[in-house]
Amino acid sequence: MKSGQGQTEAQGMKVAVTGASGAMGRAVVSDLVGRGVPVVAVARSPGGAAAGVTPLAHDLLGVGDLTATFREQGVTHLIHAAWITDHGTYWHAAENRDWQAATLRLAEQFDAAGGESFCFVGSCAEYSWDTGLLVEDVTPEEPATLYGQCKAATSRGLLAAGLSCRVSVGRVFHPFGPDETAHRVTSLVVNALLAGEAFHLRSADVYRDLCSTRSVARCLVDLCLSAKAEGVVNIGSGRPVHLGRFLARELGAELGGERLVTWDRQDVDDPANPRVLIPMVRRLEAICPAAEYTAEDVAGFVAALSARRQG
């Protein structure tokens, strides 16, 4: 089985993935299957079983206990990607508190079942955004949203819970991929261009850490499977990319619509949309290669949205 840095023995290993029907969860499951690792895909509606994947229908916000199931299935590792992601509402939704409590319960159940490694999919929203470069254990954890506050409180709770299993938190920055919600700016731009429409952005004169969900998923899997990975680890490339130019010159160029994408100039820094938001990724690079996106990721993303549009 290939990992980010060489070979890892897969024998006796089984990974549960929560949120397996979501954009990130699907990418994580795909990465694990590609490595030959058996997967238990946990979701409210996990769908049909692919080769090497055992679907498990379960509502993590319900009252059911997965301890016995984890033990019976022989689950050794868990990547927790499930959380509220409803676009436009998740930043301040009260349900974030429910997910905070559910995540801590899930970790306790996994630990009680004898699990080895619990990886929580965190977010760059757990940090204060007052500085452009975000560094683990240095940048203040002073989130501006309820989503970020609950994610950060969950990260702290997991690391302070005294669990026997290894605990890691992968703080994800700005991924894009074929299974993302149609309301994300990357999908909005591509769908507009597919319709031959111009697209003007008010807040794209900023620098972000853009990565493919494929690459982020690979990092999360390496983080979970690595025996030396514990604590908070930023998941990104560490490379600033101008959002407007990416949307126009890379996504737009795939569709011949580069000139159809425009944006307003941002002269004053907006605390809710800072000009620069980039992670330090030295901890990640000690475990595996940093996240990225390639020309193939861009082409595949555009092709997937085009195919979806055509039905």
Give the tens place of pLDDT for each residue, 128-185. 999 889 999 999 999 999 999 999 999 999 999 999 999 999 999 999 999 999 999 9
Give the span between the Cα atoms of 118 and 224, in whole angstroms: 7
pLDDT digits (tens, 9 = 90+) for 40-61: 999 998 877 788 999 999 999 9
- CA gyration radius, the chain: 19
Residue 75 has a pLDDT of 98
The token pair at 124 is: 């760059």
Q: What is the DSSP letter of 246?
A: I
123's CB contacts (< 8 A; 6+ apart) are 147, 148, 151, 171, 172
The percent of residues above 70 in pLDDT, for the chain, comes to: 96
Which residue shows structure tokens 């229908």? 57
The confidence score (pLDDT) of residue 1 equals 40
Residue 3 has pLDDT above 60, yes or no: no
User: Could you tell me the residue ranges of all domains in the chain?
Assistant: 13-177+211-236
Q: Identify the CATH number of the domain defined by range 13-177+211-236.
A: 3.40.50.720
Look up tokens 């975000």; give the residue. 134
Give the CA count within 13 Å in the CB-facing half-sphere of 241. 20
Cα distance between residue 194 and residue 255, in whole Å:
7
CA distance 173 to 161: 25
Helix (H) or strand (E) holding 277: strand 276-279
Q: Which residues of 51-65 are buried (b: 16+ CB within 10 A; e: fewer)?
A: eebbbbebebeeeee
147's enclosing H/E stretch is helix 146-160
Q: How confident is the model at residue 7 (pLDDT cuts 50, 70, 90)?
A: very low
Instruction: Collapse the DSSP code of 90 into the 3-class scheme (helix H, G, I; strand E, B; otherwise coil) and give the result.
Output: coil
User: Which has the closest alpha carbon to 29: 11, 45, 14?
Assistant: 14
* DSSP type of residue 144: S
User: What pLDDT score does 6 carry?
Assistant: 35
pLDDT at 241: 98
Q: Using one digit for the tens of pLDDT, what is the confidence trace for 54-93?
A: 999 999 999 899 999 999 999 999 999 999 999 889 999 9
Take residue 224 and report the two structure tokens written for it: 């979970």
Three-class secondary structure of residue 23 per DSSP: helix
DSSP 4: T
pLDDT of residue 4: 46
What are the structure tokens assigned to 290, written together? 């940093």
Buried-state track 67-102, b at ≥16 Cβ within 10 A, e below 16: bebbeebebbbbbbbbbbeeeeebbebebbeebbeb
Residues 6+ apart with CB under 8 A from 268: none
